[in-house]
Structure formats: structure tokens, C-alpha cells
Structure 1
Amino acid sequence: MLNKVHHVTYAVNSIADIADYMENNFDLKPIRVDEFTDRGFKSVLFQVGETLVDFFEPIRDDTALARQLRETGPGVMHVAWGVDDIDGMFNDLKAKGNELRGEGPSVSPYGYKTANIEPSSSHNIHFQLAEGEHS
């Protein structure tokens, strides 16, 4: 089942501004800065204990990330919960009546596997499951 907070993802207007804030206020330096053109965002990734914290900045206006920023402003996109058997959990959640995105877990741009429960199945909360570590 759930075994840790794998990562927390925030939507922000500027990853450069948040990277400066994190370093100046918490002495945290990014472990990665990336641009995922095909997915429409830039990211900055931090390691906080065993939890990853990433901040996404949209680079296109036609993404869910850009829509979220327009509608609600900066904030948490989702919390991903660590699991040990994401494939089995995906199938188990479907068998329990949950709607999940895709036909199975997918691989994140950082190399770990993820599965997303549709908010309509989880009291309008975006639950993401994650297995593995970043590459």
C-alpha cells in the first residue's frame, strides 16, 4: 500500500523565481532543472529528505498546468504517494471501481512509474501513485 510521500508537485509562474526563493530561504539547491517541450513545461526539482519536490512552469497555454495557473493561481498540483507494486495496485484500484488514467502506469520524465486516479473516483482529490526513484 502507500509507504511514503514520493513527491509533491507545484504549479508556479516562474521556476527561476522559486529556485531563488528555495535557495535564499531554505538553502536548498535544485538537483535538476529541465524543459519538457513535448509536455509543455519547465521544471525544477529538489530533494527534501526522501521526498522529491518539483515545481512546474508552463511553456504553452494549452496544457492542464497552464489552465490550473489561470484558474486557481500557483499551488499544489498533486501529491504522489509511494508504492511498491504500482502495476498490481493499478489493477486492484480498477477492480475496486476506480477510474484511472491510461491502460496502466506510465513512466514520468524523471524515470519513475506513475499512475493517476481520476478525481471523480477519489472525492475530487488528485491522487498520484509513484514507484521508483528519479534518474
Structure 2
Amino acid sequence: MLNKVHHITFVVESIDDMAGYIERNFSLAPMSRDEFEDRGFKSILYRIGETYVDFFEPLREDTPMARQLQATGPGVMHVAWGVDGIDDVFADLKAKGNEMRGDAPSASPFGYRNLNIDTASSHGILFQLAEGEVSH
């Protein structure tokens, strides 16, 4: 079922500071910079091998990433695992008794589809599964 690490999302205080750090130390420039006002964050996105790495900066205090940043400081928000056939995976996980966030896989603002297993079903760990490539 799981076939790769699709992406890793970090929450940071400043994507500009992080982009400068990554460029200075690793000679990488982001493949995209985005602002998702409706979702309450700005992002920078990198591709490293097969894996996407993104950094989110909260724009509002009422977002999950802002609450995480306040509670624990900068760090990993989640790791998303790659899958094929995400609709079937969703149905299979639900049939196995997992509580899912939402009624079906959803579209990310980056163009791929994803699903999230509610942490009440997964021993407190957020499992996000994703299918598809970033459409930037």
C-alpha cells in the first residue's frame, strides 16, 4: 500500500528565513512560493529526489499550524506517505475501522489528492496518505 514518502511538511515562523537558510547551506531554491489566504498559510516547496518538502508559515492564529507553532515551536507538522488508488485505500482503511477526516480523499492546494486518518484511530499519530504529483 505505502510506496514512498510523498512529502514532509514543516511549520516555521518565517518561510523567508527558512528559504534563505536552505539556499545558503544547501544551494537549493524553492520550486514554488505560495500564499493560501483562505487556508491561513504561506508556503515554500522543494523537491528532493522523489520527495516534496514544504514549509508552512501561519498567517492567522486560528490555524492548526499556528497552534502547533505556539505549543511546540518549529518542527515537523506531518509526513505524507505515497499510495496508488487513493479512493480504494480510503475505503479499505475505513472498512478496517479507522476514523477518517472527511468523507473521501480531498484535493490539496498543490494539486495532489490526500486523505487523513483521524489521530483517535492511529495512536495519536497523524497519518496522511497522498497520490499524485504537485501541479506547480
Tell me the TM-score range normalised by the shorter chain: over 0.9
2: CA distance between counterparts of 1:4 and 1:106?
19
2: CA distance between counterparts of 1:64 and 1:107?
18
1:19-51 CA distance string (max 9 Å, x none): 011111111110000000000000000010110
* Percent sequence identity over aligned pairs: 67
Give the gaps of 5 or more residues in structure 1.
none
TM-score (structure 1 length as normaliser): 0.99
Q: What stretches of structure 1 move > 6 A for 4+ residues in a row?
A: none
Total equivalences in the alignment = 135
Q: How does 1:44-83 map to 2 (within 5 A)?
A: 44-83=44-83
1:50-98 CA distance string (max 9 Å, x none): 1000000000011111000001111000000000011000010000000
1: CA distance between counterparts of 2:21 and 2:126?
26
- Deviation of the 1:119 alpha carbon: 1.0
Question: CA-atom RMSD, angstroms?
Answer: 0.5
Tell me the SS of whatever aligns to 1:10: strand
1: CA distance between counterparts of 2:70 and 2:10?
14
- Deviation of the 1:123 alpha carbon: 1.1
Considering fraction of residues, name the structure with more helix. Answer: 1
